[in-house]
């Protein structure tokens, strides 16, 4: 039934090959599914090749016995091949062995494996006016073989050039601190932009990694000074916090000693034990401080005889 409907389509009403690709690609198996073995619908089969085309096809089949060893096409498991018959794409073939009719068929292979594109170092000016050099790596794969061949002259070169411009445009919208601290988020934003732009080419961008950020020498020195000042500030805060906590503990200890005078005597004996352990020749005579206080008060008070009139 389908063949009869196709044969009734007039030649002047046939559409462009790109439009036919979009109509039939919905019924195809996913291009990145390597387990697919079903052949998609023939594209462009409704168009008439004309009398000259029919003669060329017949002549090509006549040459079949002579050129058979030279016209065998092998499609690997990780590839898809597009069959062009007299310049018109008629089929996307899965992995296998195929024969190209001489003077009639032409095959174009497309690799479906993930490819890596190294974006060379680009000079970028960030949003806060800092100049730096940044390079990145783009990982992409072909998911639509027909679109990759028919919609763009060279999908690999186009993706490479688009990656350069996208890197400069995206990094120009962020400041230096964000670039250094949030590389993963910036890479994800670049991936979304590239994936949207390359969708019509049959390309899917899986990941974008910002590999290296090179700063000027003066900027590195200023950042080192800033980091050193920040570390010094944190060290002073930590030291002051330690002093504050130790003073609180000493105040609590003094309050306990004031309530319990025996604790002072225990502390005194502990000090003697430490001194005797370090310096055995040292002799320590304990002398209570209260004696000095009594002597000081007696020295300040006037003699009793002077008070008699």
CA 198/CA 169 separation, integer angstroms? 16
Share of the chain above pLDDT 90, in %: 31
CA 157/CA 142 separation, integer angstroms? 13
- Cβ(99)–Cβ(68) below 8 Å: yes
Best-predicted range by mean pLDDT among 31-40, 80-89, 187-196, 213-222?
Answer: 187-196
- Whole-Å CA distances, 202 to 25, 191, 267: 11, 15, 83
Residue 272: predicted pLDDT: 72
- Cβ(125)–Cβ(131) below 8 Å: yes
Structure tokens at 31: 């291009």
Q: Report whether pLDDT(44) > 60.
A: no
Burial of 189 (0-12, 13-18, 19+ CB in 10 A): middle
Please report which confidence band the pLDDT of residue 71 belongs to, taking 50, 70 and 90 as the band edges: confident
Phi, psi of 152, rounded to the nearest 5 degrees: -145, 145
Residue 100: predicted pLDDT: 83
Q: Alpha helix (H) ranges present in the chain? A: 2-7, 17-24, 50-62, 64-67, 145-150, 155-171, 176-181, 183-197, 217-259, 261-278, 289-300
Q: Report whether pLDDT(36) > 70.
A: no
- The reported pTM is 0.58
pLDDT, average across residues 212-229: 85
Cβ count within 10 A of residue 281? 5
Share of the chain above pLDDT 70, in %: 69
Q: Report whether pLDDT(43) > 60.
A: no
Structure tokens at 262: 């025996």
Which helix H or strand E contains 41, and what residues bound it? none
Longest dimension (CA), the chain: 158
Q: Report whether pLDDT(37) > 70.
A: no
């Amino acid at each position: 039934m389908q063949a009869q409907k196709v044969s009734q389509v007039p030649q002047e009403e046939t559409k462009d090959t790109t439009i036919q690709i979009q109509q039939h690609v919905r019924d195809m198996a996913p291009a990145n599914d390597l387990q697919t073995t079903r052949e998609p619908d023939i594209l462009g089969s409704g168009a008439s090749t004309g009398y000259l085309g029919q003669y060329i096809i017949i002549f090509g089949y006549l040459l079949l016995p002579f050129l058979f060893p030279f016209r065998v096409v092998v499609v690997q498991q990780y590839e898809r091949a597009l069959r062009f018959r007299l310049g018109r794409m008629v089929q996307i073939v899965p992995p296998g062995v195929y024969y190209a009719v001489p003077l009639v068929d032409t095959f174009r292979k497309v690799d479906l494996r993930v490819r890596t594109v190294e974006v060379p170092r680009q000079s970028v000016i960030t949003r806060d006016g800092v100049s730096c050099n940044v390079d990145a790596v783009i990982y992409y794969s072909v998911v639509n073989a027909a679109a990759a061949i028919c919609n763009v002259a060279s999908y690999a070169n186009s993706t490479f050039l688009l990656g350069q411009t996208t890197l400069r445009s995206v990094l120009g919208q962020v400041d230096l601190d964000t670039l250094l601290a949030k590389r993963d988020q910036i890479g994800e934003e670049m991936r979304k932009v590239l994936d949207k732009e390359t969708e019509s080419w049959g390309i899917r961008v899986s990941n974008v990694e910002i590999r290296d950020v090179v700063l000027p020498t003066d900027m590195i020195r200023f950042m080192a000074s800033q980091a050193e000042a920040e570390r010094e500030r944190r060290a002073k805060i930590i030291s002051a916090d330690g002093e504050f906590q130790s003073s609180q503990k000493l105040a609590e200890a003094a309050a306990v000693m004031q309530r319990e005078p025996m604790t002072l005597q225990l502390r005194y004996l502990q000090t003697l034990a430490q001194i005797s352990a370090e310096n055995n020749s040292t002799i320590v005579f304990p002398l209570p401080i209260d004696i000095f206080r009594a002597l000081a008060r007696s020295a300040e008070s006037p003699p009793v005889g002077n008070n008699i009139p």
